[in-house]
Chains A and B, each alone.
Chain A
């Protein structure tokens, strides 16, 4: 007999959400590093100019400065990929993802657990920076490991409430990171606005597209590389899976699947914020974005996504009145 499915434990919802977010984060840090390694070959800049923006956008610049000094390739890669003290290094992301996965092994499939565990063991066994000739491959392998996880997740786990919480986490994280990759480009352009419209600019934008595996898909749709088109593609595209709008659309669908609220309505704070952001992306043109300043727009996007994240935590953790014994301490993983 098929009954009403038991809703997910709030703690489990939180853990699967963060597990997915951290794996996606690990993948994106690998992408950040990959794009910069490529850029360095095509377009050598002074190390600080080349690598500092990565620390600025995906890490804690003050902490980095204090511990490592000036940005060089080796130091930034060490910090972003392997540093156990940087909570957002690839190694830390995979450790946190695994800890979360370990706490919900009964919810996810064995194959998913095995893959998270394998990625964790792999990066733990990496004792020093990869040799230069292995460098690009090393980060490609991390990306492929994350793809493997995504594939196993879709193919071995029921697309139930837990799966939707994972997709929510993944899509919000991805949207945030695509917007940050665009921001890295913005930061790198700052000192060299004179390059706009030159072949160097073309290399820059191509690198950004490649870093989100978007180069080929962009070509099919737009042909020549033009900054406005790249922004249009990465922010406003409705079909490219790493575009911000696509991600928010998917996240919003998962949220609806979780709450059962019909489209175009909301019953809780996170749904309201998600709906507003989705509508904004649906009805904003790229010209407006560029006229108002890309960096400012991306900043506001990130703030809105943080608001959704906070809303999710409040909407799905059951709070028990203080008078009841054992009142609930919100469990935070991040």
Chain B
């Protein structure tokens, strides 16, 4: 396969410093790809796609009546992160999670950060996912965000930024694991000469994290379960996969019942106590007695059992307050406030529309900015200025004016690109990176993550619901092939 015509298109390319000049960490891989015979890469790619269908590694598409299951598109060319850069990312993520955890705990207790004037009270109280029900809660070991999937992006300036924190129920980690398996099965020769750090310890670490937070009165080994909304949820594959990999029961709301603040599951031999719940259900649906009364997915009185310290929930309810995109803008201030010093990984500069001066700027520059609703995820509720029509901009301007608290804006980032198989050749496609951080007795980051790729030419939206796919993410060991930094 010929690589000399590969065009970096003026973007930061994760594999090439400049057209024809591979980065040191990509050198071996590109040499291997360059040495492949005609059509060989496509054949490997097709083999990978067949395996995805055979294994039923799919996600469910909401609002799509024809065929509800689809494989998550996978691209065979991996994204590489050198050891030096990973070390920096890991330190940055740990700092951020430590501080966000302190922030959430503070918000539901003394609110020192508000009293000291760092964050306006108004912003916290108006956050959609602020949960007054969580005031005064003391989760086991003081940990609120046990599992986080932070979204990182690299801009054209070469700098990596945090784009979103995802502290509620981040998904995608199963694809990180499956992508690696798929690569080993279909394209084993590319691992040669590189020391790619393994990711397969993730399920064990996750299980340890969940066991770490068991209530103090747990006799012996805690019973840990994964709570799913059920088979028709878009992330159901991941729920069953993680339960399988950890060897724990996958339960639905109807399998659980709360009696005397004790969570029990219905088994063939009667009711059995559950100690830890890795819940993959949003706060709103978790407990109809505490949150949305119309929820059929949750377990009535679960929050009461949690409050009584009789069951642990991961993640803790109430975390969403820090997922608000307005709160995101304050994370560097939080870091300074709780720990001192600057954020290791910077934030994307963010305009808060509820500030008059920011809003004026945003409304005058809609064609160059990206506008986001403060509480939407999945690429919904978003305006990408440079790719928008005048009508879309007018509609967004009205929304912003009507509800400024609900909107933020950021400069349009020129997300970095990775060569991606398109037809018979490689073309650059934009990517982000979602590493997963676990917080139990310690904070741990698995060396890798989910690299999402916008498969449509020119697109900056990497979400699976909007034409995104994924790639394997290779974190190289120190001193591995090409790592000279």
Contacts and interface: CB of A to CB of B under 8 A. Distances in A.
Interface of A: 1, 3, 6-13, 99, 102-107, 110, 113-114, 117-118, 121, 161, 258, 316-318, 320, 324-326, 328-329, 331
Contacts of A118: 54
Given A8-B267, A10-B267, A114-B55, A3 B257 contact: no
Contacts of A320: 257, 266, 271
A10 B270 CA distance: 9
A86 B291 CA distance: 42
Contacts of B268: 7-10, 13, 161, 258, 316, 318
B257 A326 contact: yes
Interface in B245-303: 248-255, 257-259, 265-272, 289, 299-301
Nearest to A100: B231
B174 to A, nearest CB: 11
Interface stretch (B26-34, B101-109, B145-153, B236-244): B236-244
Contact of B244 (A110, A258, A316, A318): A110
26 contacts: A6-B223, A6-B272, A7-B269, A7-B270, A8-B267, A8-B268, A9-B249, A9-B265, A11-B252, A11-B255, A99-B231, A102-B56, A106-B226, A106-B244, A106-B248, A106-B249, A106-B250, A110-B244, A117-B54, A121-B54, A161-B268, A317-B266, A318-B271, A326-B257, A328-B254, A328-B266
A258 B240 CA distance: 24
Contacts of A106: 226, 240-241, 243-244, 248-250
Contact of B249 (A6, A325, A328): A6
Contacts of B54: 114, 117-118, 121
B221 interface: yes
B63 interface: no
Interface of B: 53-56, 220-221, 223, 226, 231, 236, 240-241, 243-244, 248-255, 257-259, 265-272, 289, 299-301
B231 A318 contact: no
Contacts, number: 93
Nearest to A318: B266
A317 to B, nearest CB: 8
B221 to A, nearest CB: 6
Nearest to B231: A103
B266 A11 contact: yes
Contacts of A6: 223, 249, 267, 272
A121 to B, nearest CB: 7
Nearest to B258: A325
A117 B237 CA distance: 14
Contacts of A325: 257-258, 289, 300-301
A161 to B, nearest CB: 7
Nearest to B296: A326
B443 to A, nearest CB: 27
Contacts of B226: 106
A179 B289 CA distance: 51
A161 B269 CA distance: 11
A113 B244 CA distance: 12
Nearest to A103: B231
Contacts of A318: 266-268, 270-271
B249 A102 contact: no
A326 B56 contact: no
Nearest to B266: A318
Given A6-B249, A7-B272, A117 B56 contact: yes
A320 B255 CA distance: 11
A40 to B, nearest CB: 35
Contacts of A11: 252, 254-255, 266
Contacts of A114: 54-56
A288 B300 CA distance: 57
A324 B55 contact: no
Nearest to B253: A326
B122 to A, nearest CB: 36
Which of A1, A6, A258 gathers most chain B CB within 10 Å? Answer: A6
A258 B44 CA distance: 46
Contacts of A8: 267-268
A113 B252 CA distance: 20
B336 to A, nearest CB: 43
A12 B268 CA distance: 9
A12 B250 CA distance: 9
B267 A105 contact: no
Nearest to B223: A6
Contacts of B266: 9-11, 317-318, 320, 328
A326 B236 CA distance: 23
A318 B266 CA distance: 6
B356 to A, nearest CB: 48
Contacts of B270: 7, 318
Contacts of B243: 106
Given A324-B257, A326-B299, A9 B267 contact: yes
Contacts of B269: 7
